[in-house]
Amino acid sequence: MKEINVLVTGAAGQIGYALLTRLASGETFGPDVKVNLNLVEVPQVVSRLEGSRMELEDCGFNTLGTVKSFSDMNEASGDIDWALLVGSIPRGITINGKKIEERADLLKINGGIFTEQGKALGENAKADAKILVVGNPANTNALIGSTHGNNASQTWMAMTALDANRAKAQVAKKCDLEISDIKKMTIWGNHSPTMYPDLDNAEIKGESASGWINDQNWIENDFLRIVQQRGKAIIDARGASSATSAANAAIDTVKATLIETPEDDWFSAAVLSDGSYSVPEGLIFGFPLKVDANGKVSIVQDLPISDYAQGKIDLTTQELLDEKNDIKDLL
Active site residues: 191
Return all residues near 125 (Cβ < 8 A) that are at least 6 apart: 7, 77, 78, 79, 80, 81, 83, 131, 154
Displacement of CA 61 from its chain's centroid (Å): 26
Displacement of CA 21 from its chain's centroid (Å): 18
Q: Give the burial class of 182: count Cβ atoms within 10 A of its Cβ; 0-12 exposed, 13-18 middle, 19 or more buried.
A: buried
Return all residues near 112 (Cβ < 8 A) that are at least 6 apart: 330
Under 8 Å between Cβ of 120 and 9? no
Best CA proximity match to 186, nearest among 168, 173, 212: 168
d(CA 160, CA 284): 11
Under 8 Å between Cβ of 283 and 273? yes
Sheet holding 207-208, edge to edge: 182-183, 203-204, 207-208
Return all residues near 50 (Cβ < 8 A) that are at least 6 apart: 69
Phi and psi angles of residue 22, each rounded to the nearest 5 degrees, phi first: -75, -25
Best CA proximity match to 228, nearest among 162, 278, 136: 162
